[in-house]
Chains A and B, each alone.
Chain A
């Protein structure tokens, strides 16, 4: 298996632009998580899906952030409009079964908003 796939790996954009991050979970995994990592705040959970349904989006910082999972093999995290403080590494992770199992992380997308 190729593992969790994220694209793009790096994104540089200007303030005010729309940014879309993409994630393909490991085939067969039933839960998907979006995280953001910064030096100041560490690794924060933004939102997670179970069987394609959003379960908890309490970590989404603002209405500028939205996430979708239209099917079991694809999810997007969108920021519109982007701001410099959104600069971070965004990770997607997936899991098979319950929350006591291992979360497998993707390689991350490094976002820079100028």
Chain B
């Protein structure tokens, strides 16, 4: 059973702080990894994709991948109340995405 695990939270951070979201996966064969953001009552939308070990930065978002440890994370710098949402980690296995349960992030003004 291939699995993607996330801490369900809620994770609460003050405005302006760094939010750190973590994800582990069970299969070493995985090659591509994604972070989606889902606002309450809305559909998921892609924030970041990462394929190689190391860091990938896009604005206030940084994705980190460590394939040896089967670990992928998302850092959000200068968190804003508008970042409050559920963040879904997804792993591509054989052409299909397997999603984690999601981590609920709350950014307090």
Seen from chain A, the residues whose Cβ lies within 8 Å of a Cβ on chain B are 33, 42-45, 48, 50, 55-56, 91, 98-100, 102-103, 105-108
Verify B99–A99 contact, CB threshold 8 A.
no
Residue B55 lies at the interface, judged by CB distance under 8 Å to chain A:
no
Seen from chain B, the residues whose Cβ lies within 8 Å of a Cβ on chain A are 31-32, 42-46, 49, 51, 88, 92, 94-102
Count A/B pairs, Cβ under 8 Å. 45
Verify A106–B43 contact, CB threshold 8 A.
yes
Verify B98–A45 contact, CB threshold 8 A.
yes
A99 to B32 CA separation, bound complex (whole angstroms)? 9
Among A44, A56, A98, A105, the residue within 8 A (CB) of B45 is A105
Verify A48–B43 contact, CB threshold 8 A.
no
Point out the residues of chain B lying under 8 angstroms from A33, CB to CB.
Answer: 96-97
- Chain A residue with the shortest CB-CB distance to B88: A43
- Chain A residue with the shortest CB-CB distance to B44: A105
